Amino acid sequence: MKKIFSLAIMLAAGALSASAQVTDEVLDRRPQTTAPVSGEAIQQGNWLVGAEIGNIGHNFKSETFTLDLAPRAGYFVSDNAVIGASVQLGLSVYDGGESFRYGLTPFVRYYFPEGAAPTHRWFGEAVLGLAGSSEEDSDGDAIFSRVYGVKAGYAHFVASNVALEGTLNLIRSSADIDTGNSSTGLSLGLGLQVYLPGRNN
């Protein structure tokens, strides 16, 4: 009886050990969702390259598809501070036509040391530039106007040099050829940024 009891305990211990090894192997194969960055990505001399998706959607009632995309590049002039430019591209396709939006908005971004953690950073951004819109077969094509505003954002590093970003944007623009009026808008943006080391980093 003692031999059977001892054998059962040894089998149970072996099963638990095998289970723990399988669990560790499964955990090691999980996709990476966060990574420590420790300020290396946002130091002077590095480059920032990426894009923000400001709006993508389809209105079923009006049969309108909308897509706004903003590729960007910037240079870290000091630790935590970036100066760069973003190209604004937008498309709206609707029943009977389409319109295209475009612009160039230089920006200044600052990553706050307060509240920083190894895997994320909070930042603020100011933008100032020109934008326009073009409606197909319109006499008022290629009208430019000022664009300016501020953004508050959160960068979550999924790798040591790649971050997913969310921003809350307050932008003022009069780049609307349909109304000719200026407008201020509050919007959310989602982006992906890659932090490239500079030559000396």
Counted domains in the chain: 1
The helix (H) or strand (E) run that includes residue 173 is strand 162-173
Residue 176: CATH number of its domain = 2.40.160.20
- The domain in which residue 113 lies consists of 33-196
Q: What's the whole-model pTM score?
A: 0.72
Residue whose C-alpha is closest to residue 136's, from 94, 182, 87: 94
Q: Tens digits of per-residue pLDDT, 152-168?
A: 999 999 988 899 999 99
Listed as ranges, residues in the chain with pLDDT below 50 are 19, 22, 26, 136-142, 176-182
Instruction: Judge whether 192 lies within some domain.
Output: yes
Instruction: Judge whether 23 lies within some domain.
Output: no
Alpha helices for the chain (secondary structure H): 2-28
Instruction: Judge whether 2 lies within some domain.
Output: no
Q: What local confidence, expressed as pLDDT, does residue 134 receive? A: 72
Instruction: Judge whether 160 lies within some domain.
Output: yes
Q: What local confidence, expressed as pLDDT, does residue 141 receive? A: 47
Instruction: Judge whether 162 lies within some domain.
Output: yes
Q: Tens digits of per-residue pLDDT, 85-124?
A: 999 888 888 877 788 888 899 999 999 988 778 888 999 9
